[in-house]
Structure 1
Amino acid sequence: MTAARPAAPAPAAPSRLAGTVTATQLVDLGVLAALCLLAVAGYETSFGGMDFLLAAVGGLVVGTGAALLGSLLRLGVLNTVLLALAAYFLLGTPFAMPGQGIAVVLPSLDSLAGLAIGAVYGWADLVTIAAPVEAPYYVAAVPYVATWLVSLVGGLLVLRWLPARRTVLRAAVLLIGPVLLYISGILLGTDEAFLAAVRGVAFGALALLWLAWRRSTGIEQGGADGRTLLRRAGGAAAVVGGAVVVGTVAGLAFAPTAAERFVLRDEIVPPFDAREFSSPLAGFRSYTKDLAEEPVLRVRGMQPGDVLRLASMDAYTGRLFTVAGPESAVDGGYAIVGETLPKPTLAELGSERHLEVESLAYHDVWLPTIGYGSQLRLIDDGTAGRAGDLRYNADAGTAVLTSGFQAGGSYALDARIQVQPDPDALADVPVARLELPPVDQLPDVVAAKAEEYAGDEESAIGRIRAIETGLKTNGFLSHGLASDSVASRAGHGADRLIELFTRSQMVGDEEQYAAAMALMVRQLGYPARVVMGFAPEVQEGAEEVEVRGEDVTAWVEVPFEGIGWVSFRPTPDQVDVPQEQTPRPKSEPQPQVRQPPRNESTDDELLTTVEIDDTEDEKRDHPFEVPAWVWVLAGSLGIPLAVVLLPLLFVTLAKRRRRARRLRERPDRSSAGAWDELVDRYAELGLEPPERATRRQTALALAGQSGEQGLAGAESLAALAAAVDRDVFEGRELDEEVATQRWTEADAVAAAATAAAGRVRRIVSRYRYSRRRKRGRRR
């Protein structure tokens, strides 16, 4: 039976384009990009500006470009996604993190690692870092990966899925990605919305107009007359206009206030807990005894009267004052910050300061600050790489470097000083009502002394000043040194404060007096906190000052409405403690005994801290530790290599499995499998075999395409197709040698076609996987 002359090859399936993109599809991609930009603009409140738009636009360009290029090259969906992943890493550096790139545009190990880490962890950092978000550097990958993903998926739908049936319902599916992006801008933002009404109305209007245009395009293709088109277009425009008006009025009338706005950062507790570190006040005596004459800090930019603060402590456990945990901190706790620091909610700020702080012998997690900071930049090699470890409490004005601020580290701080009003100006100002953590184990004597010192004062400032004056005039200063006339025990637990008030004379230093005053003020019902810091003597015109351990100090702060936290200093100035006069007992003769050798060591020398060197134990526990740069290098190189090589490995294994399965068939089916393998090889080179055709029709179609594209081996296709048809349909038992010969002939034709194809085409074919479906063949 003579085979009929085949018709023209069947058109490509809807999932593939014939290497072209229509004007309608370009309009769809443009609308999708515009909606994404309107949606991602909501990130402005988190980043504090529009600089992130560069990363967002870059994500749109890379994602849409990958979808277009995959369609033009006739790549499958999987290969297009792999192409988009490679473009994400190779092209993302100038858009998302140019500061980490080589010559701004070329990817580096840091930028590649940032693009990978930011896509996974950047979302969590965006809701835990205080706005404006500036660190860690990889957080800029969040808008980049968001727009990249939405534009890639949307582009694939526009170019491959939407052309199958151009309906309004299918077009509406494309809006899911931009809508989710819009919602993410709300959830990852702050209480303050960014042009919410304008962006919402513009987003809705553009989406409705696009859907109306898509509907009119479908009507026009269906053959409607001009009058019908005009009438329906006018009706759509009226609906869109009405929706815009209603949306504008409703948005202005029912928009939630900042306090009612739901954002994730208000629901997530910051991960940092200051209670993980020891209270600075517990180590007060180590400065006055061990580091009294040793320079611990070098500070440039201080003015006479300035005081550095280390930490503000508002929780008392009965043993010590410490920083409250994040679940009870009324000031929001410590949040991750970039160089720009958030503003305090309660403070009257005055003059500005620009400090440069360098650690000499200081080593702790608490960064010395002044006033309330506006910018903090780690500038030394020892700290600059740890910007992501920086936490800041805006209302306390204190900062923490969780990895530790060690000797040699330095940073620059811009700040403004809290105005300290005249006491007379606070006579009619109420104390701010703040819910501080409850006090545990308050000694009765402290509560009694609070009422005694406050006396008959009626105003809040009068009662607080009375307590400050009572402590300052009735007590004496002693740091517990051997040179002091009266011993003074360290600590500020309940037992030590009881001792402070029950001895014949009040003796202590800033640690005890500040703790006692804060508890006494809290007993009166006012919020108060203890602040520890340094008060060096600064000469007029001095460019820098060395802060010594003896400059350590502590004071009390109480908040007043509309003014801020006002400082009080209850520590006495007088150090001459009166000696108690006790009668000397009458001496009695004692037998002479040999005395032991005299120990010349003083008490301070005997009371030394025993330090155990556990370095060797740590080395035994961890005999081998991989350096961090090895992990960064492995991740930076491994991710791109995995993106490129793993798909190639999977496709190669699948092709081998396909070939082995066809070879294992009985001889006649194995011969047919050789033909199917050849057709699959041609399809993987980019040719389009007919979906339903005989082998001879398929051979003619492939020969025609091969001639157009300059591929060799086409002249052998018809002969091989005829030979395989004889093997399959003659009805005789086929020898295995014949089947092997068909495989040899098919491999030769495929090898000739592959060799004639270009290098790029051969590389792309290795990532493609085609498989002939088992259909009934026509004779």
Structure 2
Amino acid sequence: MTAGDVRTALAAAAATLLGALALSPVLSSGTWVRPVVNVLLVVLLTGLALRFAGAVIAARAFPGRPVPAVLAALGTVLVPLGQLAAVTGYLARRFTEAGGLLPTPAGVRELVVVLRDGMDEIAEQVAPALPVASLTALIAGFVGLVAVLVDLLAVAVRQGALAGLALLALVGVPVFTLGGDIGLVPVVAPAAGFALLLWADQAGRLEAAGRVSGPRSVGGSTALRIGGVAVLVGVLAGGVLPTLPEGTVSGGEGPGSTGTRLDPVADMYGQLTRNDPVDLLRMDASVPDPGYLRAVTVDRYDAEDGWTLNGPEAQLPLTSQLPTGHYPESGRAFTATIEAIGHDDRFLPVPVAPQSVDMTGGENGWRFDPVTDTVVGRDVSSRGRRYEVAASEVRPSPEQLQAAPALPADHPDRVRFTALPEDLDPRVAAQVQELVDGVEGGYDRVRRILDFLTDGANRFRYALSTSPGTSGDDLVDFLTERRGYCEQYAGAMAVMVRAAGMPARVALGYTPGTLQEDGDRLITSDDAHAWVEVFFVDLGWVPFDPTPIDIGRRADLPWAPRIATEDLPEQTPELQQDIPPELLLLDPQYPLIPGGEATDGPVPDAAPDAESSWAPPAGLALLVGAAAAVPAGARLLQRRRRLSLGTAAALWDEVTATADDLGVPRDPAWTPREAGRALAERTGPEGAAAIARLARAEELAGYGPATSVQEDGLDAALHTARRELRGSVDRRARLRAAFWPASLPAAVRAALPAWMRGWAEMRRSRRPGGRRLRAGDAGS
């Protein structure tokens, strides 16, 4: 094992690590990085140890003699097998209870179960996925397989460029799982790893030829130039590579909502304006006032589109301990058994702050998103399901809320849940500033905004019909006209709370429904509702409801009392037959047509914007162009390698390969002199002289005395010969030679036997201990 082998192994491990960084946007946190780094270290150290041990054994078993080809090939195969065994042992020890230093049958069986669970995570989670243990084990194992393959190709087979292609397996993960741009890191990092492999490969070839390696050498500079181009392409392509429209880890389409549902992209207006309410849920709660049933939360606000859903993110199994966000003493524990009667949706309504959800018939397909506090299904529906929820509803006192410390300015929750568009109407900010001017505590600021929306003196009215606004901004129109329904109240308050510096989001779900004679609660489509949730440190998400709905439908929120208490039943407003869609804060999936009836199917998508229309075709064209450039790149590497060798044979091979690429007829059986004469006839005097000179050098090297010295200046003669040969054909032939060189398939076929014998020949070409055999060494 030579120093060059150690250098190449290190480069292979570093390149695989850079390639693994392509997975970073697919996962929601960086906890997967450490196991992956450990796996790469296991592959690297195991490979170095086994190759060193093989060199020592060969030195003792075959002193002064080459290792037999069969044993050399067997030793080469044993290295990746040993690496795979070591990776298996590490994964079993890290992720199971039965692991040890070496893989045991029990450990392997448990590891298989863990990896199978990881496959289930891929099928059920959406990107960016939560790197739970099983998914992390699967990722580490996948990266380990890639690392073993890269190490085998780069170190044993000595094909750095071919090893770099293995990194495409890592690059493909974000390309086929993420929606939208994948960013720079998934493309630039693997490109840098590919450049590192090329550098190590060129350095090894130069050492084999007896030349000095390094970035100043021909091979080294070529590798650096190619790597630089790869990184530049990565920077330019990172934003336009085509991706799948859904952000599922498995690459499939995400589940959609069907039937009677409350979906953030559906029209809540249709739920509230049904002529005949639809029975949706029946709930048996252990407390008389169970509070709201949250279906989903939305946290992205845009002045044009209103409040929309970012999409489910990192997800947990329902069988795990679900986070509540508050201390137990701040919550009220209760249970609720819920049966879906007419509810049919991928979002499962549950009491706020659920601690566990037990689905009758199993939790397959249902997950909990701890970021949005949503139970979401994949390829499943709530239709006919029955489930039991154990919840811990936060019940803070005003004193606790006022004493809650503020989140740091750079805290992720504050950054995300206080985000507002840059084009927010200044009138909204001015209204908020007027309300909270001089108010220090976060709770007091929220109460000022709640009081503004609920004080009857401010003339806000609940209404399902509104007149078209004139400002061009739905939020400004609502604050100006002061008429709207629950979604508009909640959306306006959440924006104003964010403008006041407090993290807020909009929750969609249902009020507790109507108490029945048997003690159950019946929840219908009339109970569809939206409210605001504000985040307080150590208390979690606390609900506030600014909508003036009937007292019997409200949840009990003693920390958020209204200034105006409506004792009369809720008014039944006159409905406007055709509500302008721009007045809805959420884009409807099945909008109403005049007359109040929903359309039969989904509305065709709006015309895509400029970026979404050109980015996928441009990315696809870039990929096709990159694939088409592979032969040209391989041919360039071959030419550079021949130039770096600089021997007469290598330079003459380049002359004949150029002729084959250009379609110049040539008989392979010709001697160099005959071939040179035929090629010279197609060029001018300068080209003929250069070709004749190269042919003579090849004859002298092949048939002359062993002590003959190669003449200088053959590199310049090769450049002249290639230029003259290219000038002798038309442009079409030159383009074909550049992008599909005809000599390349023949070179690959000719090299295959050498690659097959390469494992054995590498052992013959070295003495034990790493020093190369030279003439006269064999008998020493």
TM-score class normalised by the smaller sequence: 0.3 to 0.5
Relative CO higher for 1 or 2, CA cutoff 8 Å, sep ≥ 6?
A: 2
With structure 2 as the length reference, what TM-score do the two structures score?
A: 0.40
